[in-house]
């Protein structure tokens, strides 16, 4: 099984890196770029076929390590 976890900053958390990217895009001449928020993607391969268990495990992985839930949200997708 393959899974993808996307970690993004919560609303209201300042993202200086996203801001810098936003400015750089404008500098390259891309007009009409609104806000940019930077995040992370994890592609994870899992053994087993139990999708429900996989989802529960992936969420636990996010809560315990992959995301800092003080500042980040996460989304789990199983292919």
Partner 1 sequence: MKSAVVLLPGLNRDRDMIAALTKISGQAPATVWQTDTEIPDVDLIAIPGGFSFGDYLRCGAIAARMPVMRAVAEKAAKGVMVIGVCNGFQILVEAGLLPGALMRNASLKFVCRQVKLQIANANTMFTRRYQPGQIIRSPVAHHDGNYFADTETLARLEGEGQVVFRYAEGTNPNGSINDIAGIVNEKGNVLGLMPHPENLIEAAHGGSDGRALFEGALGIAA
Query: Contact positions toward partner 1, by CB under 8 A?
Result: 12-14, 16-17, 20, 64-66, 68, 70-71
3-state class (DSSP) for residue 23: helix
Nearer to partner 1, 14 or 52 (CB): 14
Which helix (H) or strand (E) segment holds residue 45: the answer is: strand 40-45
Token output for 12: 């209201």
Nearer to partner 1, 17 or 50 (CB): 17
Min CB(60)–partner 1 separation in Å: 13
Nearer to partner 1, 16 or 27 (CB): 16
Task: Measure the CA angle with vertex 23, ends 22 and 24; round to 5°.
Answer: 90
């Amino acid at each position: 099984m393959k899974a993808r976890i996307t970690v993004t900053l919560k609303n209201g958390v300042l993202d200086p890196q996203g801001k810098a990217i936003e400015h750089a895009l404008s500098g390259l001449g891309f007009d009409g770029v609104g806000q940019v928020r930077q995040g992370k993607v994890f592609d994870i391969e899992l053994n087993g076929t139990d999708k429900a268990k996989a989802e529960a495990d992936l969420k636990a992985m996010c809560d315990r390590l992959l995301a800092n839930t003080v500042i980040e949200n996460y989304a789990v997708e199983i292919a």
